[in-house]
A and B are shown apart, each in its own frame.
Chain A
Amino acid sequence: MASILRLRKLHYVEPAVKCCSVGFESPKIDEKLDKKEEDVISANNLALGIKNKRKQGKEWRCVDSCCWLIGCLCTTWWLLLLLFHCWPVTLLRAPELPGPGVRLKREGLMALHPVVLVPGIVTGGLELWEGRPCAHGLFRKRLWGGSFTEIFKRPLCLLEHLSLRYETGLDPPGIRVRAVPGLVAADYFAPGYFVWAVLIENLAKIGYEEKNLHMAAYDWRLSFQNTEIRDHSLTRLKSKIELMYITNGYKKVVVVPHSMGAIYFLHFLKWVETPPPMGGGGGPGWCAKHIKATMNIGPTFLGVPKAVSNLFSAEGRDASYIRGMVPGVFDSAMLGLQTFEHVMRMSRTWDSIVSLLPKGGDAIWGNMDWSPEEGHVCDFSKKSHSQTSLSDNNVNNSDVKGGFRVKDLAKYGRIISFGKAASVLHSSKLPTVDSKEFSRTSTSQTLNTSCGEVWTEYDEMSRQNIQNVAADKAYTTTTLLDLLRLVAPKMMRRAEAHFSHGIADDLDDPKYNHYKYWSNPLETKLPDAPDMEMYCLYGVGIPTERSYVYKASPSSRCKSIPYQIDSSHSGEDNSCLRGGVYFVDGDESVPVLSAGFMCAKGWRGRTRFNPSGIATHIREYRHKPPTSLLEGRGIESGAHVDIMGNSALIEDILRVAAGATGDEIGGDRIYSDILRMSKGINLPL
């Protein structure tokens, strides 16, 4: 359908352009003719009459030929459309290989365990239940997801409705936007852009249907506990899992969370066993009784650096898809700076983004001079050639590491540096960062009044502070949180009541019973369910944002965001720095470290985070771009969302859903350096 639309657009534009060109040409020729004729037969009245007539005729002919052309095109279009619809359906699909679902069905796999899908951030649809007058007629229409036409028609209205209340992180008064329930919530994000649809279709092939397949849709803008407070999403999920467990002959469920859904489900696992009122009151054996396996796809267990840039300057490449979806609007000169601010203001009301900030501080993400990914090679094409097996990989890497250390070693630990110098200099040459120095001067001198109605917390910062922040400094993951507390104190205060980003020293400390720790794998224990399995399934082989080079924004007018990524910095060919961003291996959104560490080390075996010794398995999928356009987004993709169409991943999920264990599907499958990286991290287990 998408291509049809595209086709249609093509039709529409082409004739218009041609028509215009014709239209512009003919008057010119007219003029020329006129001048000639004026010289020669100026006295001849008859000729004048003819000329007039001809003018009319020509004008008519232009419009006429336009119409004719459009008519022709429309007719051919309709003809082709007719042909397309009359086409036997099977003819078009003949060359397609049978999907994993069909193949596995032939092998005799049948639906066994009920499956619960937990969508991630931004991929779930949101619909309007109550709105302001400007949203008239949108009742129960999708504001988020779908065709996004309303964003073009009434952008400000939409932004207003999608924002949450800044103070509480809940609904603003008079506005109720709710998650779309059911499988339709996230099967397609936009028409033709699948998220879960391919997986669902393949599951259906081996016998799944609505009674044993459930989409745990939730409002992804809220903090996890708030989804329970406002919508009872966690209670609903619990009841749904219990129901499916019973109606499917007491078969445990297989949960498949994606992206942020992974930490949402982690939160759920804790919540469900905690006694009410804070928890679900399922009792300590609930998970062991109801859950067979959790298959996290592209999990953001330890956060994503992208969330940092998104919160800091609304510049995340695609952590929020908004920019990608509607680049025209946001980059347009007219709305320009305003739009960024609008987006920033909107996304800062979403608590969930804070849940994606890197967790674990310097111990995980590296400090000023060290990072676990150190020595990463960024020429991915080269790497994938040499990295045929794990043993090769190790040898190769150490070789390459030696070679590169001399040249240009990216210091990934400095997640934000101001100026390129700050990102490469040795730490001793940098001014130390001390959060206490950010003493906030009185806000009376701010430019609040002169600024428009777009309000971000940057407006409350004094110029002095803005410059202080930027003065040739570099921030690590720990100091970054201080930085965010400085630039957006209210947001952080709100969100940090719901999320925590540290590492627990003593997990038995009663303070860890609070829900704000539940979604941080480094501050909670996995449930006591020794038969459960944890999978980390993620793509590798795509450069993924890891740290940023910033600069102070040139136009520090009141309405702009004072910082932006310094995209002028790019390293040499082999460097990981491109456009002001340092890259590492990952799936384009989540670095390998965040997706794999917990399964590779944090939970492996019996650790303090995994006291019951839940088995963990890592399954990596190397990214291969689609070979031809016909393949669409590819069946071997490793990209964060496109991986949901990856045949190998689907096969793994189907096998587990049909009853296989992690060892039966082949145990670990690793292409990246995740084991080496994890070894480098010094975390008491």
Chain B
Amino acid sequence: MAAPLVLVVLAAVTVRAALFRSSLAAFIAERVEVASPLNAWKRVVEGLALLDLGVSPYSGAVFHETPLIIYLFHFLIEYAELVFMITDVLTAVALYLAIQDFNKVVFKKQKLLIELDKYAPDVAELIQTPMEMHYIPLKVALFYLLNPYSVMSCVAKSTSAINNSVIAFFILATIKGSAFLSAVFLALATYQSLYPLTLFAPALLYLLQRQFIPIKLKSKSFWLYTLQYASLYLCSLVVIICLSFFLLNSWDFIPSVYGFILSVPDLTPNIGLFWYFFAEMFEHFSLFFVCVFQINVFFYTIPLAIKLKEHPVFFMFVQIAIISIFKSYPTVGDVALYMAFLPVWSHLYRFLRNIFILSCVLIFCSFLFPVLWHLWIYAGSANSNFYYAITLTFNIGQILLISDYFYAFLRREYYLTHGLHLTRQDGTEAMLVLK
């Protein structure tokens, strides 16, 4: 399996290198869908220039990256293109290894449940076979590396690629079962952009499952392990934040980074829902709606944890998707991360209801984004409503895609336990509804 992976990596690196050298690189770097105020490369360069001038990068409103990024790029600014290509490759390799391990776990669990007779007798066609699962890790790496979203993100040198890489390593560490590494990478991901905090729950559920600790609120071992993992996570977070303090000897970065993510003062258009909403908001309600929108990202965690406690990796996928859709400054780089997971659920294809329409919506919206941006900003013949409409459609497309996969997943689980050919009491063929 190594050879095809190497081929895929080479193809991806070639595509990125070709685009770096072309005239499209400058055009892509300026696109608001790819570069947001949080992760634009222009702002990283600006922050380093301010540091050279003797002014703290956090004294203005331009630089919102964490001090560790300053550390990293202070030495690597000459090789920035190489750094981002390597980051993408590392993300893909991490996802490849993680999904490889995950497939082994899935297969083992399936075998156990078949031997325990938990499955209905006629579900043979729903069981995943090693044959069909063989190419899934390669497809995941392919989906991530050759996804136009991640290619554009890399060419624009957006630091969301670094965030994706850290999250990919976190997933790898979790699936391999190492609580310490998983906590460290999760702390790094949370430190960079606050939202991966919600991934604590699926990681905890997976590690508990792996240690065969039952998830019961009365169980002492459950609480012990949770406390262990939580303290590992919090300690690493505190250590990283203190390290950042010593870079510039000030706590200025906290309001500049986390205050900025939470209070959304910059209304630069992007593919998310926040910017136009707060541009048209009455001042009086601004604080209320900021709180509502931020809570919206975090509050799906507990209900999803309750429903999907047997399937933590799917939970992780849904959670990453929710973060990418509802975070305050989303970019297509974040979308590329959860799209990389779609091959893992390719066995759900037969239960997806609207996949054709939704993929068309997503593709068309991706093409219309730059067109309507040009019409608004450069041609002056459209106004902001056009771009906003495409934003809405794109987000609805993403939301319906995720809920479609969720529906298909739950339906397959039902069929697995109740049998594929359902009959009603009178023997006729039955329909399945959500009630």
Is A bound to B? no
Binding site for B on A (CB under 8 A): none
